[in-house]
Structure 1
Amino acid sequence: MKKTTFSLTLLLILCVTSIWAQGPNNSGTYYQAANGKKGEALKTALFNIIKNPDVVSYNGLIDAYHKTDTRTDGKIRDWYSNATNYTWNDRNGNASEGAGWNREHSVPQSWFSEASPMKSDIVHVLPTDCYVNNRRSSYPFGEVGNATYTSNNGYSKLGSCKTSGYSGTVFEPNDEIKGDIARIYFYMVTCYEDRFTNWTKGSAT
């Protein structure tokens, strides 16, 4: 191996090792309490690590979206529609899809009685089209069998659930964000492990 190649390889190994060891805020110990845990014990260990999230105010979410949900063209990202081109001032229009955007609680805030800090936790409060958001209402997410509503370009839909075990109405987001939604829900039941069991409508029944 040439000396130059060896040096670059060694540098890469040292950088990766350094990043791995640091953890958030260069702590090196952030997830230490979760080491070796599995199943419920792992989830509870993670809860104890993240249970006091630093959330912004509900109004502060709008400014925060400039960092988290700005598209490459400078417009705001829409989680429920791919037919919108919102500027930051196009808020709250509800006449039709594309008329305006608002803040959507992916875990409906009626489930937890609009309590804080869940109400303004940006991990699950997302910018979405007002009209499509209203069609979603507080229905749980699920796979739709017979659709009663479909957003433009078939991006998201509402209808009867086709998954065995539940026959009610569900809202199905687009395939490209289903993984994100699943991770959001895992975060919510982990971060708020001591609260979510008391949420009045926190399950599809």
Structure 2
Amino acid sequence: MLATRIRQWKSVALTTAAVLVGLTVPALTATPAAATTTAYDSTYYKNAIGKTGTSLKSSLHTIISANVTKLSYSALWDALKVTDQDPNNSSNVILLYSGISRSKTLNGGDSGDWNREHVWAISHGDLTTSTGPGTDLHHIRPEDVAVNGKRGNLDFDEGGSTFTNSGGSKVDSDSFEPRDAVKGDVARMILYMAVRYEGDDGFANLEPDDKVNNGSNPYIGKLSILKQWNDEDPPDSFEENRNNVIYTTYQHNRNPFIDHPEWVDSIW
């Protein structure tokens, strides 16, 4: 991306200058997500517009939790064939971490199949696959069975090694790094879950934190990395279309961080 390349040029220039004069220059950070406006601001988000911090988070929780249609775990199969359809091949879905386009008919649990990946791992807070957060379409995506297994329930961070069908995603002993093209998508899905599920509906209060190895606790990290990914990889047309389809056809709620990625920095 151009913004990333510019930051790299600036970093090189500053580092070179620092060497010449014997100074230390702090690392540059990602440019915060730009403020946006949407057609939903005067309707769906009207009670959140103008708020910040905890007040914004509370308002968004109320908005995205109201009048939601909840899907069963089995219903996710057919829904994913629509939400994640390959724009260039209507017979296929796009797999999240690997980026592979695979036939919709190859859904299941065998080698070469795609299955239902929980981006917020179900063991983080014991979500289970009963109707609720464990079947929330906003964070469930198609993925190759083996790649899904590689991610397991790892927290998100940078580093590691690529693997078969990784698409550029990486894994190490305690974390998983998605391919660059979906890093922002992953961040916005995780942070949606943290706002949607606040412990007031019989399920765990989900929150991001800034560490890995969260185990069965209802946390996923690392927050600082997720915020960075949100800034570096803004929503694209695939992610925006997915949000619209979930809203209009399935759950009838939206991921607010796809519509307003700048709200991530406002809340966290």
Taking structure 1 as the reference length, what is the TM-score of the superposition? 0.72
Does the CA contact (< 8 Å) of 1:159 and 1:171 recur in 2? yes
Candidates 192, 198, 203, aligned match of 2:197: 192
Partner of 2:108: 91
Matches of 1:66 and 1:84, distance apart in 2: 12
Q: Note the C-alpha offset of 1:130.
A: 0.4
Structure 1 window deviating more from structure 2 (65-74 vs 101-110): it is 65-74
Q: How does 1:137-176 map to 2 (within 5 A)?
A: 137-144=152-159, 146-147=160-161, 149-152=162-165, 154-159=167-172, 169-176=174-181
2:103 partner letter: Y
Matches of 1:181 and 1:34, distance apart in 2: 23
- Asked if 1:48 is matched to 2:62, the reply is yes
Flag the structure with larger Rg.
1
Candidates 197, 202, 205, aligned match of 2:219: 202
| Gap runs ≥5 in structure 1 | 1-18, 161-168
Matches of 1:45 and 1:201, distance apart in 2: 21
Matches of 1:153 and 1:46, distance apart in 2: 34
Q: Secondary structure at the match of 1:110?
A: coil
Does the CA contact (< 8 Å) of 2:158 and 2:177 recur in 1? yes
Taking structure 2 as the reference length, what is the TM-score of the superposition? 0.56
Identity of aligned residues (%): 32
Partner of 1:36: 50
Partner of 2:114: 101
- Residue correspondences, number: 167
Query: Cα distance 1:190–1:204, how it changes in 2: closer, same or farther (>3 A)?
Result: closer
User: Over aligned residues, Cα RMSD in angstroms?
Assistant: 2.4
| Gap runs ≥5 in structure 2 | 1-37, 200-204, 208-215, 223-268
2:149 partner letter: N
Matches of 1:111 and 1:153, distance apart in 2: 23
Q: Secondary structure at the match of 1:176?
A: helix
Greater relative contact order structure (CA < 8 Å, 6+ sep): 2
Query: Cα distance 1:90–1:203, how it changes in 2: closer, same or farther (>3 A)?
Result: closer
> Could you report, residue by residue, the CA deviation over 1:75-121 in whole angstroms, capped at 9, with x for unpaired residues?
12111213453332342113xxxx11100100011112115410110
